[in-house]
Amino acid sequence: QTVMAGHAYDLSRPGVRVASIDTLIERGIQLEHNAVCVIDECHMEKLAPVMETQPATVTWHGLTGTPVFKRGTWTSMECGPQPSALVAMGALSEHESVVPEEDTAALEAGAIIGNPVEWWHRHAAGLRTLAFCRNKREARAHAAHFPGRAAVLTCDDPDHVRTATLARLEARELDVVCNVGLYQEGTDIPWLECLHDLAPTNSVAAHIQRSARLWRVGGSAKMHLDQAGNFWRHGPPQVDRTWSLTGPNGVPVRVAGLFPCTACRYLRGGPGPCARCGTTPEGRDVAQLTAPGMDVVLAASEQIAFEEKRRVTLRERMQLKRFQAQEWAANEKRAEPLSETDVYRAAAKRMAEWRQVS
């Protein structure tokens, strides 16, 4: 039975239940003993406490494209085809990627790299774009740069408003829709032409899930603009990865060199001329995008030292968020407010000092 709003279901009858995590939470559904429940997007953190409140005899089957779980949630895992195989089969579409040069300070501070409006006009003008923003304030500020051609969608908007807004984007009545936490998972938008990531995240699952909005087959040329630094944190989202319930998870399998062009920042497939603008690298080249488990490819004429990015613990992430909130609160009281980047840099400086004494 499908357990969801608008569907008639009878939990007293034996059988397989197909339900969303939100349905189980919001409706407070208690499954019967020995039930079988199939959950989509089973990587979501809010599933674990739901499973703990259900009878121990319930059998769970989960489906997800990003199997990053709380340890002990699942007992076994079977992996399907990797993205490269699905692309070859025609089940997923390929897309171009444009990434800024690595900015260590911005990555540490969780800041946006470069000017988002300038980058959109340079690389994606005219493409129907879904932007991921960190919060409502930043979403509204970004949309304001496209008067009459952009909209903001958040959890405050009812379903009919969300549907109508996406319809306007599909019809090219809008250029950009800025969303805050709405379309990261489970939404098919095959006509989408550009994804603009403006929401830094330490979650490899979130990074991949966002990008997957572009993987649906259909539409025309597709472009991924990443100014959140997530390519540098986690590697390209569509590379093959190793998944595990017990060991390192989401680690990219070794892939060919992936070099951002020094001129147009297009993610080309090797150190030769860029397929997009034709630029041939001279002198210092940009190192290969990397993540834990991927080889670091250094420049041909000038070596660039790269340290493996240390995984930030949950405690540190929470502390950094506190510092950022404090800096934003202080910034609102300043006669001359700091720029967004400077606010995040100030929080990063406090974080560095905190690490030295803790």
Mean per-residue pLDDT of the chain: 78
- Residue scoring higher pLDDT (52 or 160): 160
Question: So what's the pLDDT on residue 8?
Answer: 75
Question: So what's the pLDDT on residue 73?
Answer: 75
Average pLDDT of the residues in 96-124: 86
Lowest-pLDDT choice from 42-46, 61-65, 299-303: 299-303
Q: How far apart (Å, rounded) are the C-alpha atoms in residues 329 and 165?
A: 32
Question: So what's the pLDDT on residue 309?
Answer: 33
DSSP codes joined into one string, 30-87: -PPTT-EEEEESTT-TTHHHHHHHS-TT-EEEEE-SS----TTS-S-------HHHHH
CA 288 to chain CA centroid, Å, is 20
Q: Which amino acid is at 337?
A: P
- Residue scoring higher pLDDT (175 or 342): 175
Question: So what's the pLDDT on residue 104?
Answer: 78
Q: How far apart (Å, rounded) are the C-alpha atoms in residues 216 and 200?
A: 23
For residue 354, count CB atoms less than 10 angstroms from its CB and return exposed for 0-12, middle for 13-18, buried for 19 or more. Answer: middle
Strand partners for 19: 3, 39
- Residue scoring higher pLDDT (269 or 332): 332
Residue 170 has pLDDT above 50, yes or no: yes
Question: So what's the pLDDT on residue 84?
Answer: 80
For the chain, give the percent of residues with pLDDT over 90: 21
How confident is residue 219, by pLDDT bands cut at 50, 70 and 90? Answer: low
Question: So what's the pLDDT on residue 117?
Answer: 93
User: Which segment, 40-49, 216-225, 297-306, 326-335, is predicted with the most confidence on average?
Assistant: 326-335
How confident is residue 82, by pLDDT bands cut at 50, 70 and 90? Answer: confident
- Residue scoring higher pLDDT (305 or 221): 221
Lowest-pLDDT choice from 67-81, 173-187, 264-278, 287-301: 287-301
CB 96 within 8 A of CB 225: no
Residue 101 has pLDDT above 50, yes or no: yes
Tell me the pTM: 0.70
CB 258 within 8 A of CB 275: no
Lowest-pLDDT choice from 38-52, 98-112, 250-264: 250-264
Q: How far apart (Å, rounded) are the C-alpha atoms in residues 170 and 128?
A: 7
CA distances from residue 135 to 129, 163, 298, 337 in whole angstroms, order as listed:
18, 20, 36, 19
SS3 (DSSP) at 224: strand
- Find all residues with CB under 8 Å of 112, minimum gap 6, and list them: 106, 198, 200, 227, 228, 340, 341
pLDDT in tens, 125-155: 889 999 999 999 999 999 999 999 999 999 8
Strand partners for 266: 98
Average pLDDT of the residues in 109-130: 91
DSSP codes joined into one string, 281-331: P-SS-PPPP--TTSPPPPPSSS----PPPPPPPHHHHHHHHHHHHHHHHHH
- Residue scoring higher pLDDT (3 or 142): 142
Q: How far apart (Å, rounded) are the C-alpha atoms in residues 341 and 183?
A: 26
How confident is residue 227, by pLDDT bands cut at 50, 70 and 90? Answer: very high
Question: So what's the pLDDT on residue 200?
Answer: 92
SS3 (DSSP) at 153: strand
Strand partners for 130: 177, 195
pLDDT in tens, 239-250: 888 888 876 677
Question: So what's the pLDDT on residue 199?
Answer: 94
